[in-house]
Amino acid sequence: MASARNGRRPRSRGAVAAGVAHPARRARVLMVGVMIVLSLFAAQLVRLQGLDAASVSAAALDGRLQVKAIPAARGSITDVDGDALAVSVERRRIVADPTLVVDYERREEGPDGTNEVVGEGYVAAAEVVAEITDEDAADVLAKLTDPDEPRWTVLVADASPQEWQELRAEGVRGLAAEEVMRRDYPIGEAAAPLVGWVGAGELPAGGMELVRDEDLTGEPGEAVYEVGSSGEIISTGLSEEDPAVPGEDLRLTIDADLQWRAYDAVRTRVKEAGALSGYAAVMEVETGRLMALTSYPSFDPTDSTQEAEDMRNAAVEDVYEPGSTSKLITAAAALEEGIVEADSPIEVPTTMSRAGTRFRDSEQHPLQNLTFGGVLAKSSNMGTILYGEKLSDQQLYDWMRTFGIGDTTGLGLPGESAGLVPEPATWSATTRYTFMFGQGLSSTLLQQLGVFQTVANGGVRVPPSVIAGTVDEEGRYTEESVPEGTRVISEETASTLTEIMQGVPSTGGTAPLAAVPGHHVAGKTSTATRVDPDTGRYTGGVTSSFMGYAPADDPKYVVAVVIQRPTKISEYGGIIAGPVFSDIMRYTLQKEGVPPASTPPVEVELEYDPEDPDPDEPGATLDDNAIKDERTGG
């Protein structure tokens, strides 16, 4: 046998089984393994297509969905007639992915009718953007090639929807637009301090933008849509939109035309007079509603680069010593307390001494025999002291406070000052006397305006207001209520003061330039010494003002004009502020259709003859009953 011949023993079947596996068995093992794997795949497929089909589909959909915020339009601020003072305008912020823009090819139709490549890459894209949006091509190119912004950059911060549509038509791949709202202010700086502005981060600052921000702010919406792999919207895909709700519109009592006229008049006079600043206001007598409130210098509400200190509302923030317009309070107090009547004789000396200080009027004059009405109309400091010193310190203080001096008006504008009325316990020896003619206390334009509104309204003070109402998204108008009035003086006292003040804006008064041709006007001048804020001394020039109302026989409107530190033309209120008052009041009366006067003005005796007998006391003379400077013997 072969095995015997070779000297080897043949292998048994067991030996073969213990060695390498038989090919058939190995095939069977592999087959089993493949079947297990296929079974797992099948089970997973069943799970995906059957049991988990909805969740898998939803996950795929989520990958294609994009969510876009829809900004809400901020409510408009309008004047009393609905003309815009602040309005939100839909705009586009154009952004780019430079990695996609680099492949852009600009094509134009050639002479033979074929499209020819006339530009490529960033340079061509920058030129297209610049041509459509009026941006600088070099600036756009710099943004596209900025290494610090390789995937996203803002090319145009403020473009119109039309510009974006034109840009899309050029087919520049990698450009996109974000919908934004820009705040526009149609009359700009003329109303900026009152209306306010929307600054960086869409945050309101100043004026009514800040005061009524909650009403003006709307509720943003949301859009959800499907996009393809290149970011294009799938027209047949899911698309849902929750629209934005715009904010309420705010209607002010301001008249835009009158606001601009007042601003321009003040601006012109400040420049002509080489003055520091100026402000003016127009108010309805009966309601206290402001028709104009403006100041100069002002600011551009769309320029976010300005300093905050240059964006003030000086008409409500500035305090100043009012001077002679405040004599109206002293006069009203003397009438109410029974100290004087309109024709009470007052002998006004050349100078007079009180508390170790010599007082005089603004212009040197000999001994004057004036009535009480003459003292107020001619704005005599010494005459005011002669009847005013019959009031106690506490009475003087209380009457100032009763007229609203020393308190904010309740208008609610940011930064409004309350002024300063020192209590009698803090007065120096001379404060009592300067207090009577408006020095030694601080007030604001609105507070002084309120004094004249009170007298014009028959003695009833109505706080100023500037909001007429609101308009909701459905167009429903809700009117703001007018504040309640408070009686301060009697109708008789108010009538007496009105009759006296008609003599001021006349040829014989202290402010003929404040007269309004064809209308009877009651008003008062002031030329008050200013305190230098750096030294605290009365070396800061003067405050020139004129305030008054018309028609005097049935007052409808009160106007106040203040010019700070004039250095040219003159310094007297009648000359500096009087013409501005006349211009604004004339425009107001004409715009509101107030007819000219048909009767002559009331005349009040401003002087008396000491030799004429007093009709109230037969045999006596006015000289015997006159209020005199008894301390110096006249």
Q: Are residues 34 and 107 in the same domain?
A: no
Looking at the domain assignment, is residue 425 inside a domain? yes
In a domain, 99, yes or no: yes
pLDDT in tens, 97-143: 998 988 898 888 777 777 788 888 999 999 999 999 999 999 999 99
- Using 50, 70 and 90 to split pLDDT, how confident is the model at 611? confident
pLDDT in tens, 537-547: 888 899 999 99
Q: Find the range with the poorest average confidence among 66-75, 391-400, 497-506, 516-525.
A: 66-75
Nearest to 373 by CA among 321, 403, 334: 334
Are 244 and 162 in the same domain? Answer: yes
- For residues 237-255, give the mean pLDDT: 86
Q: Are residues 288 and 397 in the same domain?
A: yes
Q: Which residue has the tokens 């997973």?
A: 44
Helix (H) or strand (E) holding 55: helix 53-64
Q: Are residues 404 and 439 in the same domain?
A: yes
Measured over the CA atoms of residue 219, residue 225, residue 228 and residue 234, the dihedral's sign is negative
**Residue at token pair 């500096």:** 576
In whole angstroms, what is the distance from residue 169 CA to residue 209 CA?
A: 38
Is residue 414 domain-shared with residue 289, that is, in the same domain?
Answer: yes
Q: Judge whether residue 150 has pLDDT over 90.
A: no
Residues 403 and 508 in one domain: yes
Asked whether residue 344 is assigned to any structural domain, the reply reads no
| pLDDT value of position 23 | 73
Triad 445, 197, 278: Cα angle to 5°: 25
Q: Is 58 left (phi over 0), alpha (psi -120 to 50) or beta?
A: alpha
Domain assignment present for 586:
yes
Q: Please name the residues in contact with 542: beta carbons below 8 A apart, sequence gap of 6 or more.
A: 527, 528, 529, 530, 565, 566, 571
Q: What DSSP designation does 615 have?
A: T
Find where tokens 């797992």 sit: 40
Q: Is residue 364 part of a domain?
A: no
Same domain, 247 and 260: no
The single residue listed with the structure tokens 């780019």 is 96
Indicate whether 532 pLDDT > 90: no
Helices 327-336, 393-402: inter-axial angle, 10-degree rounding = 110
Task: Check whether 13 has a pLDDT greater than 60.
Answer: no
Distance of CA 530 to the CA centre of its chain: 27
- Tell whether 236 and 263 lie within a shared domain: no
- Is the Cβ–Cβ distance between 581 and 564 less than 8 Å? no
Residue in 76, 88, 324, 442 annotated catalytic? 324
Give the per-residue pLDDT at 43.
67
Q: What is the pLDDT of residues 390-418, one digit of tens each?
A: 999 999 999 999 999 999 999 999 999 99
Q: Tell me which of 36-50, 251-265, 353-367, 559-573 is least confident.
A: 36-50
Tokens of 557: 């409107």
CATH number assigned to the domain comprising residue 597: 3.40.710.10
For 463, 539, 541, the CA distances from 535, given in Å and listed in that order, are 35, 8, 13
Q: Strand 65-70's sheet: what is its strand order?
A: 65-70, 221-226, 239-242
| pTM over cut 0.95 | no
Q: Give yes or no: residues 442 and 513 share one domain.
A: yes
Structure confidence at residue 305 as a pLDDT band (50, 70, 90): confident
Contact 131, 193 (CB under 8 A): no
Overall domain count for the chain:
3
Residues 489, 454 contacting (CB under 8 angstroms): yes
Mean pLDDT calculated for residue range 306-315: 85
The 10s digit of each residue's pLDDT in 451-464 is 999 999 999 999 99
| Residue range of the domain that includes 270 | 256-298+314-339+391-466+484-603
Average pLDDT over residues 534-563: 94
* Cα separations in angstroms, 114 against 50, 118, 346: 54, 12, 100
**17 — pLDDT class (breaks 50, 70, 90):** very low
104 and 149 in a single domain? The answer is yes
How confident is the model over 616-627, as pLDDT tens digits? 554 444 455 678
CB 607 within 8 A of CB 369: yes
SS3 (DSSP) at 139: helix
Task: Indicate whether 614 pLDDT > 60.
Answer: no
Taking CA atoms, 75 is separated from 197, 210, 216, 480, 481, in Å, by: 13, 12, 5, 17, 20
Q: What are phi and psi of 147, to 5 degrees?
A: -65, -20
HSE-CB at 530 with a 13 A cutoff on CA atoms is 22
DSSP conformation letters of 321-338: --GGGGHHHHHHHHHHTT
Give the pLDDT score at 232. Answer: 58
Residue 155 lies in a domain: yes
User: Is the omega angle on the peptide bond into residue 555 within 30 degrees of 0, that is, cis?
Assistant: no
**Among the ranges 70-74, 92-96, 197-201, 449-453, which has the highest mean pLDDT value?**
449-453
Q: Flag whether 631 is in a domain.
A: no
Q: Are residues 292 and 244 in the same domain?
A: no
Match 């009105």 to its residue by tokens: 498
**Co-location of 414 and 502 in the same domain:** yes
Q: Is 380 a catalytic residue?
A: no
Which of 11-15, 189-193, 303-307, 366-370 has the weakest average pLDDT?
11-15
Judge residue 123's burial from the number of C-beta atoms within 10 Å of its C-beta, 0-12 exposed, 13-18 middle, 19 or more buried.
middle
**Bridge-based pairing state of the strands 249-252 and 77-78:** parallel
State CA 262 to chain mean position distance.
16
**pLDDT value of position 367:** 93
Q: With bands split at pLDDT 50, 70 and 90, how would you rate the model's confidence at 16?
A: very low
Residue 148 has pLDDT above 80, yes or no: yes
Query: Does residue 528 contact residue 322 with C-beta atoms inside 8 Å?
Result: yes
**487 and 314 Cβ atoms separated by less than 8 Å:** no
Q: Can you say whether the dihedral through the CA atoms of 231, 232, 233, 236 is positive or negative?
A: negative
Nearest to 501 by CA among 357, 373, 327: 373
Q: Note whether residue 232 is domain-resident.
A: yes
